[in-house]
Structure 1
Amino acid sequence: MREIVIGGAQMGPIQKADSRAAVVARMIALLDRGADGGCDLVVFPELCLTTFFPRWMMEDQAEVDRWFEREMPNGATEPLFARARERGIAISFGYAELTPEGRHFNTSILTDRTGAIVGKYRKVHLPGHAEYDPDRAFQHLEKRYFEPGDLGFRVWRNMDAWMGMCICNDRRWPETYRVMGLQGAELITLGYNTPSVNSQMSDEGPEQRLYHSELSMKAGAYQNSAWVVGVAKAGDEDGHPLLGGSVIVDPNGFVVARAETEADELIVHACDMDACTFGKETIFDFKRHRRIEHYGRICSQTGVEHPGD
């Protein structure tokens, strides 16, 4: 048995006025809770050092850049890395990355038990829009503030398992999981900051949005025989509600742990990486069953093209 005890560290709201030091202190408290509970890995949400700033329209690039991290770890996050090293726990968390070349990405990282960064992922499927939209109930300007990720969907050998990462909207795209599944991913971690309401369809409330969030992760886990750990930032951020619903999903698509609040909360499950083997060697044995000669459209076109167009 290759068991990894995983903690999903859901975080409650982070207000615009909250300092990074205050947020990191909350993360350390969740990390300590995980360590006391026997966790080997603690997973935090997307953009977990700040409020979800893409909801704000900003014209001044200097104002935008203050939400980004220029290095990792840095002065604000070093206490988190130090505590993770001290307690021998691997961590994964998301943040806004500003590279030395001036590029902006929505990023997540993965460490080993010594606090060394062993993996980095940059969000590929950016939702929302790039310019102010007066017809929306609120803005979702990820396409304005971030570039699409340029690192692809990789997996890394860490803690005797093959691990991959994605972020938020990536979880809704089956290609995300399949590319990692084709590399033997046994564990896929992801953080998200998902609004509780749809800015373009107010009738879609939290119940429907939780259903679709969970559906996508359960399908990705089952269809690739991998554990999926989805961790939310939740609650009312500056008057804008975020969805909770953090889950740990097993390789058969069953939820084995689920958050019950919209606050800082730790969900924990002992995940046996060997539980991935049966699915990978039977119904989802890709080498035996995939028919790539019929899949060309997936990588040759983006928008819908009807036959005969």
Structure 2
Amino acid sequence: MSRQIIVASAQMGPIAKTEPRQSCVARMVDMLREAHGRGARLVVFPELALTSFFPRWMIEDKDELEAWYEEDLPSPATQPLFEAAAELAVGFYLGYAERVSEEGRIRHFNTSVLVGPDGKIIGKYRKVHLPGHDAPQPGRTFQHLEKRYFEPGNLGFPVFDGFGGRVGMMICNDRRWPEAYRVMGLQGVDLIALGYNTPVDHTGHTDIDSLTQFHNHLSMQAGAYQNASWVVGTAKCGREEGSMMVGQSVIIAPSGEIVAMASTLEDEVITAKADLDLGTRYRETIFDFARHREPDSYGLIVERKGAGDPI
């Protein structure tokens, strides 16, 4: 039985600080319809797709800060997107800021959901690898305060059955950490949906920041190849409230090859036919973990050398 599906990356251009959620959702509905017109069954939107990237600012007023988060999805503002998905029978990935009452307290996460073609939520993921700082840094034009406004995700890296295969999720900085891909690879993931908002000056070191787009693609291509999975990486990009963010949203095959890439820094839909069985072939040959992976040996090396010693 063929497991070929058309997938879409729905890149978003800048979102102004004053742009209401309803406007962002309308933009996404338009792109969902465009993707549907091309035959797409799954559309991947960016990280924090409902608002501007608010961690770039120091926000001290509690009410002002809480206004950036969502308590439940679908909310009144996002309901049209869920309804359009059900109408068109097209699923989607959506990144947003989550506010939730857990363990007797209010908690905040950088979150994404996977929504099925019936408009119902299949699964949720909370960003594990939070970049940036928990306090303002001197000399920075724009702050990066994700560690102040979010907790590290507590759901692990689950994969979910849907769209003819097994689908996992990441958010932005997760893509730089090989263990994020590997945990899902060990669960037989077929496709990883990944949204990002990445400023070009995120480290403050020009020699590193000049390679931001190269590193963006490098990490996703390596993760796709080494874990035999499709990766759909979707940016929120362009000059947003003065901060320049990278674009070049991509669809990457399990071979590590980029098969589609955005060419603008605006709202743009790219699509590709994803043969989920291509990943199966890699898992049965080069990356047959059961046959070729030797996790016990890794422990022996660390034990003999010492955790901090060069291997």
Q: The TM-score by the shorter chain falls in which range?
A: over 0.9
Residue type at the aligned position of 1:216: S
Q: Tell me what 1:289 maps to.
A: 292
Residues 213-292 of structure 1 mapped to structure 2, 5 A cutoff:
213-292=216-295
Q: Tell me what 1:90 maps to.
A: 91
Q: Tell me what 1:183 maps to.
A: 187
Residues of 2 paired with 1:298 and 1:28: CA distance? 51
Residues of 2 paired with 1:273 and 1:65: CA distance? 40
Q: Which piece of structure 1 moves more, 277-286 or 143-152? A: 277-286
Q: For the Cα contact (< 8 Å) 2:111–2:124, is it kept in 1?
A: yes
Post-superposition shift, 1:199? 4.5
Residue type at the aligned position of 1:130: D
Residue type at the aligned position of 1:284: F
Q: Are positions 1:158 and 2:162 aligned together? A: yes
Secondary structure, in 3 states, of the residue corresponding to 2:206? Answer: coil
Q: For the Cα contact (< 8 Å) 1:136–1:199, is it kept in 2?
A: no
Post-superposition shift, 1:201? 1.1
Q: Return the match for 1:107 from 102, 108, 111.
A: 111
Q: For the Cα contact (< 8 Å) 1:228–1:250, is it kept in 2?
A: yes
Q: Tell me what 2:13 maps to.
A: 12
Q: Are positions 1:197 and 2:198 aligned together? A: no
Q: Tell me what 1:62 maps to.
A: 63
Deviations 1:15-43 (CA, angstroms, capped at 9, x unpaired): 10100011100000100100111110111
Post-superposition shift, 1:204? 4.0
Residue type at the aligned position of 1:278: R
Q: Tell me what 2:73 maps to.
A: 72
Q: Tell me what 2:177 maps to.
A: 173
Deviations 1:79-119 (CA, angstroms, capped at 9, x unpaired): 00001100000111100000034110000000111011001
Residue type at the aligned position of 2:189: A
Q: Are positions 1:40 and 2:38 aligned together? A: no
Q: Are positions 1:149 and 2:150 aligned together? A: no
Q: For the Cα contact (< 8 Å) 1:198–1:204, is it kept in 2?
A: no
Q: Are positions 1:133 and 2:137 aligned together? A: yes
Secondary structure, in 3 states, of the residue corresponding to 1:252? Answer: coil
Aligned CA distance change for structure 1 residues 178 and 298 (closer, same or farther; 3 Å): farther
Residues of 1 paired with 2:155 and 2:140: CA distance? 31
Residue type at the aligned position of 1:91: F
Residues of 2 paired with 1:238 and 1:109: CA distance? 26
Residue type at the aligned position of 1:51: S
Runs (5+) with no aligned partner, structure 2: none
Q: Tell me what 2:32 maps to.
A: 31
Q: For the Cα contact (< 8 Å) 1:127–1:142, is it kept in 2?
A: yes
Secondary structure, in 3 states, of the residue corresponding to 1:107? Answer: strand
Q: Root-mean-square deviation (CA), in Å? A: 1.7
* Residues matched between the structures, number: 303
Secondary structure, in 3 states, of the residue corresponding to 1:118? Answer: strand
